[in-house]
């Protein structure tokens, strides 16, 4: 079964080839008509030139010999023009040299004697012939000089021209079709990746939302199966509240990423002190750290000025701190530092947690990626796997870089480096 995207690629390639073929057809038709006109004109010019050469030679011979028609007849014999037949005729159409001429040539001579010159093309003996005849005089006598050519030479040139152009056009069409397919495939690869990401995103989102919804529904159904005392209802409602909060957090993260993808979340750029934001985020994460028995320490702190959206930057730091605390066992340590080495603001979060394997490290910023499920459950780390994807978007929006290094069983180090502060004046 052909996928819709492959069908689109084939259609686009066909459109490219058809458009190029139409262009070649129009161009070839225009060139053919132009060249045909030029070739026809060239043939007419060559016939006139041949007739004029005949007349010039006849006049020269007449002046040199001062004899009768014999000198003029010699002029025809003297000229040898390839692919051209020369005729010398009386004004009444009777041939002088050669002694025999077709009736249509004699008729053309009589017409030229009356009109001065004539151009003519006829079908004779299954051949197309073109003639130019012109009246001229020598002392005491008037003649008609005519030159005849077979149009087959034009047709041969046309055939050669059409063959050459057709071969070039066919080769060009094949190249355009092949190149068009490559171009279409290359240009639609981002679309294919986006579609795959969307399908995966929708499937993951449905899976993440289905679980808390199923828990809510089952909890409500179990609670309503029979009458209970008020304490049992309180316990059930607290479970519902917990799952509803989890569901709400997942939906909020999904909305954040959707707005980010659509470019609807504008940044409120301000000059802020990164060290103050880091301290504020540490204060917010301390309660979670104490609950899990993890020590949250503040390391080196230097004044660091950056340009960015304070709310989003605080959210970025909270996400990183939250992950560090969640994946650090009780009794471990999370250290937060802020500095500005070389004028570039930097926040570093280090933990003594379980670490991340090299295979998982390259995937941690993917949406809904949570690594080994057993690893997450074993540390009580809940979530939909959207936090680090949001963190990456916030960092990219601020031109920052997130560098993560980790060693399983020993801990993880996350460094966020921001560009120098910009002037907002």
Q: Write out the DSSP string of 350-414.
A: EE-S----HHHHTTTTSTT--S-HHHHHHTT--S-S-HHHHHHHHHHHTT-EEEEEEETTTEEEE
Q: How far apart are CA 390 and CA 185, in angstroms?
A: 30
Examine the fold and report which residue of 158, 185, 202 is the final residue of a domain before the chain moves on: 158
**Range(s) of the domain holding residue 45:** 4-158
Distance CA 155, CA 159 (A): 6
pLDDT (average), residues 170-192: 82
Same domain, 147 and 275: no
What is the C-alpha to C-alpha distance for residues 131 and 152, in angstroms, rounded to an integer?
14
Looking at the fold, whether 290 and 410 belong to one and the same domain comes out as: yes
Question: Sorting pLDDT into bands at 50, 70 and 90, what band is 198?
Answer: confident
> What is d(CA 34, CA 312) in angstroms, rounded to the nearest whole number?
67
Q: Does 184 have pLDDT greater than 90?
A: no
| Residue 204, pLDDT above cutoff 80 | no
- 286, 410: one domain: yes
pLDDT, averaged across the chain? 81
Is 197 inside any structural domain? no
Q: Confirm whether 196 is domain-assigned.
A: no
The pLDDT assigned to 298 comes to: 87
The model's confidence at residue 150, banded by pLDDT at 50, 70 and 90, is confident
What number of helices (H) and strands (E) belong to the chain? 10, 12
- Residue 351 within any structural domain of the chain: yes
In this structure, is residue 422 part of a structural domain? no
Residue 19 lies in a domain: yes
Question: What per-residue confidence (pLDDT) applies to 350?
Answer: 92
Whole-number pLDDT of residue 1: 62
Domain boundary among 133, 158, 183: 158
213-235 pLDDT, tens digit per residue, is 877 888 788 888 888 888 888 88
Range from 24-28, 49-53, 211-215 carrying the lowest mean pLDDT: 211-215
Quickly state the pLDDT bin for 377 (edges 50, 70, 90): very low
| Residue 304 near residue 346, CB atoms below 8 Å | yes
Residue 114 token pair:
């009356």
What pLDDT score does 294 carry?
92
Is 15 inside a domain boundary? Answer: yes
Three-state secondary structure call for residue 2 = coil
Res 293: pLDDT:
92
Q: At 363, which CATH number?
A: 3.30.565.10
In the predicted model, is pLDDT for residue 264 greater than 80? no
- Count other Cβ atoms within 10 Å, centred on residue 213: 13
Measured CA to CA, the distance from residue 135 to residue 118 in angstroms comes to 9
Residue 108 domain flag: yes
- pLDDT per residue over 293-328, tens digit each? 999 988 888 888 888 888 888 888 988 998 899 899
Which of 139, 158, 177 corresponds to the end of one domain?
158
Name residue 347's beta-bridge partners: 338, 416
Structural domain count of the chain: 2
Chain centroid to CA 414: how far?
Answer: 37
CB-count burial class (<10 Å; 0-12, 13-18, 19+) for 414: buried
pLDDT digits (tens, 9 = 90+) for 313-372: 888 898 899 889 989 999 999 999 988 877 788 899 999 999 888 888 878 887 767 665
Give the pLDDT mean for 8-36: 83
Q: Is 178 left (phi over 0), alpha (psi -120 to 50) or beta?
A: alpha
Q: Residue 348: what pLDDT?
A: 92
Residue 296 domain-assigned (yes or no): yes
> Which has more pLDDT, 84 or 114?
114
Say how many C-beta atoms besides its own lie within 10 A of residue 214's C-beta. 11
CATH number at residue 97: 3.30.450.20
pLDDT of 374: 44
Give the pLDDT of residue 182. 85
pLDDT at 186 over 80: yes
Query: For residue 186, what are its two tokens?
Result: 């290359």
């Amino acid at each position: 079964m052909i996928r819709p995207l492959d069908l689109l690629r084939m259609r686009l390639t066909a459109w490219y080839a058809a458009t190029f073929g139409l262009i070649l057809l129009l161009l070839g038709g225009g060139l053919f008509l132009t060249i045909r006109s030029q070739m026809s004109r060239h043939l007419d010019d060559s016939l006139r030139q041949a007739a004029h050469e005949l007349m010039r030679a006849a006049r020269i011979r007449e002046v040199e010999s001062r004899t009768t028609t014999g000198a003029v007849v010699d002029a025809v014999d003297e000229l040898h023009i390839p692919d051209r037949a020369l005729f010398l005729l009386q004004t009444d159409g009777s041939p002088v040299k050669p002694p025999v001429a077709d009736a249509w040539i004699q008729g053309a001579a009589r017409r030229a004697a009356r009109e001065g010159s004539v151009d003519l093309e006829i079908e004779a003996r299954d051949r197309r012939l073109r003639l130019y005849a012109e009246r001229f005089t020598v002392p005491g006598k008037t003649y008609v000089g005519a030159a005849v050519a077979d149009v087959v030479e034009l047709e041969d040139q046309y055939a050669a021209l059409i063959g050459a152009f057709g071969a070039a056009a066919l080769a060009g069409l094949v190249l355009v079709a092949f190149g068009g397919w490559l171009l279409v495939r290359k240009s639609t690869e981002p679309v294919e990746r986006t579609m795959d990401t969307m399908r995966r995103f929708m499937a993951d989102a449905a899976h993440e939302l289905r679980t808390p919804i199923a828990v809510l529904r089952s909890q409500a159904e179990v609670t309503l199966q029979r009458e209970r005392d008020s304490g049992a209802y309180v316990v059930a409602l607290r479970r519902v509240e917990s799952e509803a909060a989890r569901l709400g957090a997942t939906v909020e993260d999904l909305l954040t990423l959707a707005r980010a993808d659509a470019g609807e979340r504008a940044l409120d750029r301000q000059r802020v002190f990164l060290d103050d934001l880091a301290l504020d985020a540490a204060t917010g994460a301390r309660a979670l750290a104490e609950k899990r028995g993890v020590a949250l320490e503040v390391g080196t702190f230097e004044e660091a000025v950056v340009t960015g959206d304070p709310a989003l930057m605080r959210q970025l730091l909270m996400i990183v701190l939250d992950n560090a605390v969640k994946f650090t066992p009780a009794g471990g340590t999370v250290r937060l530092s802020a500095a500005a080495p070389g004028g570039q603001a930097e926040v570093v979060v280090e933990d003594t947690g379980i670490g991340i394997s090299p295979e998982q490290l390259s995937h941690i910023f993917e949406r809904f990626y949570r690594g080994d499920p057993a690893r997450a459950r074993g540390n009580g780390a809940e979530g939909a796997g959207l936090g680090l994807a949001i963190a990456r978007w916030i960092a990219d929006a601020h031109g920052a870089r997130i560098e993560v290094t980790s060693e399983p069983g020993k801990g993880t180090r996350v460094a966020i480096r921001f560009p120098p502060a910009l002037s907002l004046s």
